[in-house]
Amino acid sequence: RYISTFRPSVKREAEKNKAQWKTMGPAKVAVPSPKNFLQKHSKEPKLPARKKEQDSKKLPALSVPRRTDHPVMGIQSKKNFINTNAVAAITGLPKKPQPIYVDRRQGDKYLLETSGLVPKYIKKKDYGVTPKYVTRRNEEMKRAQKEYEASILEHLKKRAMKRLSDEERRSLLQGLKKNWEEVYREFQGLSVEIDTVPKKIYKEKLESQMKQLEHDIEVIEKHKVIYIANE
């Protein structure tokens, strides 16, 4: 069984301190002073110390002048504000009115720019341009498709597989349909009443052939690329 490596040291410590606990606790315990008794409300949370009254009397800095402040006197300007304003009004360009629209009979006006009626989006420089992440994703997909096709071709070459051309696939499909028509013609030529065992067996055989041909035709029509094993 498992034995701890610290067992001797633990036994030694227990034997060393065993005599101190013979009286249901340590031999010498500090006796609390009778002056440190529990007082009323001593365990309740205390509020922070109150600030001095001098700090509360200080007023915050104002951005406006006080009533006792006097303005700076004696500053004069030789600028003719009337002529300056007149020249600015004559030479300045007229302010273009903001385009607005009215949608009620009461004549309430609203700004046209923020209404959503202005075709701002189609006037963007990159409007109609394919985003870069889309082109990058398309290129990655094309590259992955090419790599997949190359790996498939390599795998098929290793397995000596041959890909059917479009002409061979078309001729194979026509041959299967022709065989189905022949089997179907034989199926139509069966008698209405099938009361013998050979007739039942022959009918089931024709039905299985037709189902197999229909399955093969469906597979060839569904898949454009077909590989066959070289014999």
In the prediction, which pLDDT does 20 show? 61
This prediction has a pTM of 0.32
Contact 177, 217 (CB under 8 A): yes
Taking the C-alpha atoms of residue 152 and residue 158, their distance in angstroms, rounded to an integer, is: 10
| Regions in the chain scoring below 70 on pLDDT | 18-28, 52-59, 159-161, 229-231
Distances (CA, A) of 216 to 35, 50, 110, 173, 180: 105, 96, 69, 9, 10
Q: Across the chain, what does the average pLDDT equal?
A: 84
By the 8 A CB rule, do 103 and 111 touch? Answer: no
Burial class (CB in 10 A: 0-12, 13-18, 19+), 167: exposed
